[in-house]
Amino acid sequence: MNIAVVGAGNIGGRLARVWAAKGHRILVGTRNPAEEKIVALMRTSPERITAHSPREAAQHAEAILISVPASAAFNAVQELGDIKGRIIIDAMNAVFRKPEPYTRTSEAIVAASGNDHIVKCFNWIGAENIENPMYGNVAADMILCGNYAADKSVTQRLAEECGFVVYDIGGMDKEQLIENAAALWSSLAYGTGLGRGIAFKVLRR
Ligand SMILES: NC(=O)c1ccc[n+]([C@@H]2O[C@H](COP(=O)([O-])OP(=O)(O)OC[C@H]3O[C@@H](n4cnc5c(N)ncnc54)[C@H](OP(=O)(O)O)[C@@H]3O)[C@@H](O)[C@H]2O)c1
């Protein structure tokens, strides 16, 4: 599928590489297509990853990953123009930076675009896990939430293509739970000194 990646930094860049390797076409929406990190990203898959203005990338995509700092969420989404009909994958977390004056990044997205087809995913564990979700022979878990089953099914497949075991925990009313899980990840990684090489696993009898 055609996926716009708005914010090809630590997390967006990794998702772009993995999805391109799985055969998707990645339209990177960037403020500076000539920047070295964008050029290097395109070099990893010249036939599948191309750079555009954020608006152009979004207009040609079926799904749009938003992976900018939460504080930039409203402006970054507003710049995309009319994005009705697209699935918006929200990989932002508001643990350190806030999407003010909004509380949750999804509120900023809806305010900026009028599109509530949002799936919260990929935001709660360190970006390094995107390219390497395996801990020995155990795959890390990914959780997502969103209001529309069809959007979640597409996003689940994209997360599974990264190698995650995926749990759908419900509607966007669960967003704060996932934000809290992101805060927990940060606290474990930095507060206890475990470092960034950690993820979560649900154990089940
Ligand atoms: N890093 C992680 O481990 C991790 C994990 C989970 C979730 N997240 C979340 O993912 C989002 C991105 O984090 P990241 O670590 O990937 O950040 P990053 O490396 O700084 O990348 C963010 C990208 O957003 C774009 N951008 C657009 N508007 C911006 C603005 N006003 N200010 C700054 N950048 C802007 C920039 O791309 P252009 O310059 O090309 O436009 C930049 O490359 C954040 O919401 C973060 O909380 C990060």
Whether the CB-CB separation of 74 and 103 falls below 8 Å is answered with no
| pLDDT-based confidence at residue 33 (cuts at 50, 70, 90) | very high
pLDDT value at position 2?
98
Domains of the chain as residue ranges with CATH: 2-191 (3.40.50.720)
pLDDT value at position 116?
98
Q: What is the value of pTM for the model shown?
A: 0.98
Residue with tokens 């155990």: 138
Residue type, 135: Y
pLDDT value at position 163?
98
Beta strands, E only, the chain: 2-6, 25-29, 49-52, 63-66, 87-90, 118-120, 134-135, 138-139, 141-146, 165-168
Strand order in the sheet with 141-146: 49-52, 25-29, 2-6, 63-66, 87-90, 118-120, 141-146, 165-168
Q: Mean pLDDT across the stretch 20-45?
A: 98
Going by C-alpha positions, the residue among 3, 6, 2, 1 that lies closest to residue 113 is: 6
| pLDDT-based confidence at residue 89 (cuts at 50, 70, 90) | very high
Percentage of the chain exceeding pLDDT 70: 100
Minimum CA distance residue for ligand 1 atom 19: 9
Spacing, Cα 204 to ligand 1 middle (Å): 34
Q: Mean pLDDT across the stretch 25-42?
A: 97
- Residue 123 φ then ψ, to 5°: -90, -10
pLDDT value at position 75?
98
Q: Which residues line ligand 1 (CB under 6 A)?
A: 7-12, 30-32, 38, 67-70, 72, 76, 91-93, 123, 126-127
